[in-house]
Structure 1
């Protein structure tokens, strides 16, 4: 099939590349000329495991092309994906200016039937707004479909190629046929293509992400309570997770959730509720607790150093909001770094992938290490913010010899408390 993807951010690029992988002819459109030129040369602008391999393969096969021309994209595709940013507004709502701006242009330019697919995460009712924006400028027949993505950063290629489910929101039989034909190669093992109305599809994505964020936040509260009463959150987590009604996933406590989805989607759903005269009280708490959780280690660090962090050298392991990505949006590490800098500490950080993004944001406010152990040289403490696998089994002899004092504040509970306590001078984790 002929497909165009408008926007080559994280979602758009993964979508376009993975659709090309099953034989579709895909054109990706982006206004950034420099980015488009680099992609034409085979350069992947984001870090996502396995994406580079299929990206290069499909460019060579001429199934994946890039352009800055919206006209070219609209002329090519029978299915037009809108994978555009929906940044958080000042009031927490999702800003639809990019989507509606492109929708307005689509109405001026299409000359034949198109299926317009909202791939971005958008509030309930967006499909109606997109339909109105297009129809005011054209009499050509078209359909608008809500098709939310459920891609986990670090696993996005597998999630797209082997989805647990595909949600398609439309009441048009013609559009349903297009979408089923497009997605059939991805559900050969029997996972469902779920057809529903547009509003339900839009809400499904927000509901799923907000529920997962709530699950994480609940466990963080349990962890904080464990510390008050002397319980071990790891044992509580295992005891809970073996209940099939609850499940084992998203029960790991830590320093809060970040990224491009959970923080924005929770706030957007909460704001959508207020706009409809409904207050999601549980999301009020999720937002509040997560904001506090991101810097929950700071009082501990302050107490350890007797309220004097000035000129203390603090090493940071992990800058991305989660492992296997270079995404630093709403990353807890950034909140911790900001708090430590305000206390007068000196920061040296290491992350396998995210350091260039942090350097673009913070510049020389902090230092950047070439590897995880050089970050520890003459450090007074280590703060672990991201659970990259390379941090899970460190060489403690090297750690002890490099640091002034082997003091670890572990925001991701990477180590067994009893075992690590034999290796280092001081160890603090979450809920244990």
Structure 2
């Protein structure tokens, strides 16, 4: 049995678009897209499943999926009952309200299963029904499970990608794919951080509870050592919301020597950094584009790590390092290599290098040049064109 009524009530008679984003980064990108499409077409009736950003987008907010985000095989299995209930209720909502279009934002474990279910139930156009199923932001096929493109071609009507090289990943399947530009290099995007030689050491442990609980204690071990060598170094932990703040506060409370040194800052904006200690993820890429010196570290559940090591075939975790693989700008420390000594010594080297700011600024310029590919249209134009086809 699954518990009904996870969703907020919805009274509209018609739905032009249902948007589903399951992670913090997707929620941010989706919010920008929804706000801009509503500015252009305010008459659209849009419902959203996402996070706090989409909640304030001007669309009908159904459920906070981002608040329940998990990563890794072990973590998904632990929460299987909840995701089974959520999946069933999402399908039931779609059956009841029949949105003309559904826009999936990345999050392939949930979203591609949903697209397949819609096809099997003859609800989507690919299954003979009337709902168009679109996707914004591709799964990282070039990193793992490239055969997913065949399933995607069977269940999606159109795909918009944010890296120019991703278009080639789908050349051998019958799926319309458009490069719409990366949201972090658009004119509307405001970087959350700027390089400041007199700024803070920023600790970025991620946006999900389980990864934060694994990596933040290690960050604090390294920070404790750094604080001894740099007594005037400002240290901040930016947090995206209240739930993450409580988690961070609890972990920091176990380090009494740091409680008066660390400032927890609500919100991922208006940050000034001289250096950053980061978990791999979307925020680390934003920092790379801003030219922030730093180090990437990551700790997964041992089972998740072992499975990932078998499936993932890329030399780096950080997107900046993957794109600049011949000269990766960020040192990476994974699992046991992410420890007090390795992280603190790497940050010390960056703090002691007068040229590090310039070196990372040059890396950011290289990244931007790579992302400025032959963009056919931007994300809003792509979505507008697709909605017109329904």
TM-score, structure 1 as length reference: 0.30
Structure of greater Rg: 1
Q: Name the one with the larger strand percent.
A: 2
TM-score, structure 2 as length reference: 0.33
